[in-house]
Structure 1
Amino acid sequence: MAKREIATSASKMLMSRAMLRLLMMSGDPVAQLIARRPDTDPYLIYESIREKGDLVRGNIGAFATCDHELASVILRDSTRFGSFAVAKAKPIDTTVYDDRGERLIVPMDDSFLSMDPPDHTRLRRMVAPWFSPRAIRERTATIENMLDELFDDLAEQDQWDAVNDLAVRVPIRVISAFFGIGEEDYERFRRWGGIIGTSVDGIRTMRDLKTFRQMLIEMQDFFGELIERRRREPGDDLVSFMVQAEPEGEPLTWHDMIATCGVLLGAGFETTVNLIGNCVLTVLDHADIRKQLIDDPDLVPNAVEEVLRWDAPVQYLLRVTTQPVTLAGVDIPEDAPVFVVVGGANRDPKVFGDNAQDFDLHRKNSREHLTFGDGIHLCVGAGLARIEAAATLRVLLRRFPDLRLAEGAERRPTRVVRGMTSLPVRDGAIAAATT
C-alpha cells in the first residue's frame, strides 16, 4: 500500500471520527445514528429520530428516516434515489489498490448491489434463477439434512456456540455449494465474509484498512483462479454458469464475475449468519415463544419474519439523490446521502400498531418489514436466507427442545450489521442428567 494512500486514509479517518463525535455530542440525530457506540440500544436512537419527523436532516448534510411509508418510497424510487454513488457518501473511502497500484474490486461497491439500471438489471437478472422459489425449494431438504449432520456433531456436548458452531456453518456450506467447492475453503470463506460484513460499517482504523485490503487481494486471486478453472472445466455451479452466460448478448467481464462472487459471499453469508443468530437468541430468550414453536413448528416461518422485523440483521440502507427532491415537506439537494433506517421503519407504529416495539409471534403483517430492502434492489437472496433460518430453527428445536442460553454472549461491534459474535447455549437435558 502506497504511503500517500495510507496518509490520506488516516487523515480522512481522523477528521471524520472527530467531526462525528462533536456532532453526536451536540444531539445531531444522523451523527448519533452512524457514530453511536455499538453496545448501545439502536432502537432508542431510532425513536428519537422518529420524534423529530418523518425525514430528518443532520448537520453533516445527510438525511435519515424511520418512517415505513417514506422508507419504502425511497427504496422503490430508482430514478431520484440511486445507489451508484454510495461509495462517495461513505464516511471513509474504501478505495484500495494492490501492490501494482491497480484498484481492487470491492464487492459491496462494484457489484449489482450498488448499481443502477441498466447494469443492475443485466447482472441481477443473470443470477436471479439461482435464487428462484423453485431453486430454493429444491435445496430445502439438502439444508435440513446438512443441519442434522451438524447437530449430530453437537449432540454429545452440553454447551456449544450457536453462532460459531451453527449459524456460521449453515450459509458457508450453502454458498460453497453455489461455487462448486468443498470443505477445504470453508474457513477462508468464513473469514472473508466476516471482514466484508464488518467493512459495511466503514473502515475506521488503519488496521481495518490493511485487513480489508489483504482480504480483497486474497479474494480476487481466489475467484480469479476459480473462474479460469471453470473456463477449462465447467461444472454445475454458479461460477461455471457465469463464465458461459451472455446477458443481453454480451459475456460477463472478469470484473463483473469477481464482484458478483464477492457480493454473493459477503451479503449471503453475513446477513444469514446474523439472522440465524438473532433467531436463536430471540427464541431462547423468550420461553413462551420457544414452547409455542416446539408445539407448533408451522409457526417457525412467521417467527423468522418477526425476527427480521423486530431485530433486523441489517439496520439501515443508504441511498443518494440523483436530483433535488422534496419529501415529507423537506427539500433534499442533489447528491445528498439519505439513510433509510429499516430497523426503525420495521417498528413504525403506523404500520405495526401500538405494540410495534414488542416481539409478537402471531403478528399478521410481520412480512411487511423492509429488512431485505424494496424495489429493484430487494435482496436477491432473501428467499434463501428465509429458508436457511427457518430450517435451522425448526431442526434445532426438534433436536434440542431443552436448549438454553448460557453465559458469555457477545454482540457484534457494528452499527449497520446487527448480530452476535458469540452465543453460548447449553442442553438442559444433558445438564440435568449429569447433576
Structure 2
Amino acid sequence: MVTGYEHARHVLRDPRFRLPGPPPDSEWSENGSHAGFLQNMLLASEGVQHTRLRRFLGQLFTPRAVRARTARIEAAMTALLNATQGRPVVDGVADISARLPVSVIGDLVGIPKEDRDEVSELCRTISKGGGVASGQPPGHDVDTALTHVDQLGQLVRRWMGSPSQLIPDSVLTLAVETMDTPDALSEMEVVANVFSLYIAGHDTSRNMLSGLLLRLATHPRLLTDLTAGTVDVPAEVDRLLLSEAPLTFTVRVAREGCEIAGQHVRRGDRIRVMLGAANHELVTHGREANHAGVSFGEGRHVCLGARLARTEGRVLLEAAGRRWSDLRLRADPKWTPHFLHRGLESLPLEITWR
C-alpha cells in the first residue's frame, strides 16, 4: 500500500508497474466466455492497445471538444434545477449530483435519452461482477455481470444500426464513421468502452459534485462569493478534489522486482496506490497545491475525462451562485460504504431559491 504523495506519483508514472488483469481462471480472462472485455477498456488496457484506444477516444476530450460540449452541460444543469425549482428540500445526490453525469456521459457516448437510466444500471451491475479492483467477486455477481454485458452489447448494436439517430460528436458516431478504416474499433472494444466511460464518468463525477454541494452547504460564505463573482471557480473545484478524492485508490502490479521507499516489491505484487491519502499528505505537510493532486491519477493512465469533470464542477458552482441565495444541511449527510469510491449516498439540503 502506497500512501505518500511523491511515492504515489512515482508508481503511477513508472512503467515497471502495470494495471492488474482479470483473475486467470475467471470468465473475463483470455480463455473465458467474455475474453477481452476488461482488457479492451481504456481503464484497464496497456501498451499498444492503450495508446490506440486513448488516441481514438481522446478526440472527444480535447480542450476544443469540451468547450463545444459545455453549453449542453449547462443546459442539463439548468434542466435539473428547473425540475427542483421552488422545492425547499432536495437530496443533493439523488436530485442533482447523480443525475448530471448520466446526462453528460450519455451525451458523450451518444446514448438515446430514453435508454440512459437503463445503461447506468447495466454498467453498475457489470462493475460489481467484474472484479477489476476487488479481485475475485462472488460467482452470482459474475454470472449477472456477464448477462448484462450481453445486454449492453445488444443495445450498442441497435444504436449503431441507426446512425442517423446518433448524437453527432459522440463515441458511437465516431465508431460508426471509422468502420472499415484502420482506426476502427471492434464491437467488443466499443461495448467495453461504453461501459468504461459510464463507470469512470458517472461515479467519480457524482462523488465530486456531491462533495461540492456539501462544501457549499457547510461554507455559507462560498455561496455569497459565488453570487458576487469573486470566487476562482476552477480553483475551488480542484480544492475539493484535493481534499476529497472521488476515487480512494487505484491498483498496480509490479512487472519486476524493485524498491519503493526502501521496501522490497516482488514481481507480481499488487500495489494499492491510495490517492486520497497521497493528497492528504500533500495538504497536511503544508505544501502549496493549486491542482487536484493525484485525484485524476498520473502518468500514461491519467484520467482522459479530467477536463470534462472539472467543467461539470464549474457549471454546478456557477449555477448555484445564480439560482440559490442560501443553502444549508437539512440533516446529516450519509456516506456510501463503498471501499473504492469516496462519495455521498444522500445529502439532504435546504435551499432558498432566488
TM-score under structure 1 length normalisation: 0.72
Q: Which of the residues 328, 350, 353 maps onto 1:426? A: 350
Q: Equivalents in 2 of 1:336, 1:94: separation in Å?
A: 19
RMSD between superposed Cα atoms in Å = 2.8
Q: Are 2:3 and 1:70 aligned?
A: no
CA shift in 2, pair 1:204/1:112, >3 Å: closer
Q: Cα distance, 1:213 vs. partner?
A: 3.8
Q: Which of the residues 182, 187, 208 maps onto 1:254? A: 187
Q: Are 2:17 and 1:87 aligned?
A: no
CA shift in 2, pair 1:195/1:277, >3 Å: farther
Greater shift, 260-269 or 187-196, is seen at 187-196
Larger Rg: 1
**Alpha carbons 1:278, 1:420 under 8 Å: kept:** yes
Q: Which of the residues 250, 259, 264 maps onto 1:317? A: 250
Q: Cα distance, 1:244 vs. partner?
A: 3.1
Give 1 or 2: higher helix fraction: 1
Give the AA of the match of 1:186. Answer: R
1:141 equivalent in structure 2: 71
**Alpha carbons 1:68, 1:345 under 8 Å: kept:** yes
Give the AA of the match of 1:242. Answer: A
Q: Equivalents in 2 of 1:302, 1:400: separation in Å?
A: 21
**Alpha carbons 2:56, 2:183 under 8 Å: kept:** no
Give the AA of the match of 2:325. Answer: P
Q: Cα distance, 1:388 vs. partner?
A: 0.6
How far does the alpha carbon of each residue in 1:389-433 deviate from its partner, in whole angstroms, 9 at most, with x for none?
Answer: 110121023201212222263221201111112212122469xxx
Q: Are 2:96 and 1:163 aligned?
A: no
Greater shift, 377-386 or 251-260, is seen at 251-260
**Alpha carbons 2:133, 2:250 under 8 Å: kept:** no
**Alpha carbons 1:412, 1:419 under 8 Å: kept:** yes
How far does the alpha carbon of each residue in 1:186-220 deviate from its partner, in whole angstroms, 9 at most, with x for none?
Answer: 32133234445656653755664455344323222
How far does the alpha carbon of each residue in 1:159-180 deviate from its partner, in whole angstroms, 9 at most, with x for none?
Answer: 1111111112211112222233
Q: Are 2:326 and 1:396 aligned?
A: no
Greater shift, 218-227 or 189-198, is seen at 189-198
**Alpha carbons 2:220, 2:326 under 8 Å: kept:** no
CA shift in 2, pair 1:95/1:412, >3 Å: farther
In structure 2, the residue corresponding to 1:118 is in which secondary structure? Answer: helix
In structure 2, the residue corresponding to 1:65 is in which secondary structure? Answer: coil
**Alpha carbons 1:105, 1:220 under 8 Å: kept:** no
Q: Equivalents in 1 of 2:285, 2:166: separation in Å?
A: 55
Q: Equivalents in 1 of 2:307, 2:318: separation in Å?
A: 16
Q: Cα distance, 1:94 vs. partner?
A: 6.5
CA shift in 2, pair 1:156/1:207, >3 Å: farther
Q: Equivalents in 1 of 2:98, 2:124: separation in Å?
A: 10
In structure 2, the residue corresponding to 1:113 is in which secondary structure? Answer: coil
1:340 equivalent in structure 2: 273
In structure 2, the residue corresponding to 1:338 is in which secondary structure? Answer: strand
Give the AA of the match of 2:279. Answer: N
CA shift in 2, pair 1:408/1:158, >3 Å: same
CA shift in 2, pair 1:405/1:213, >3 Å: farther
1:103 equivalent in structure 2: 34
Q: Cα distance, 1:157 vs. partner?
A: 1.1
Give the AA of the match of 2:199. Answer: G
5+ residue gaps, structure 1: 1-63, 357-363, 431-435
Q: Which of the residues 288, 302, 311 maps onto 1:387? A: 311
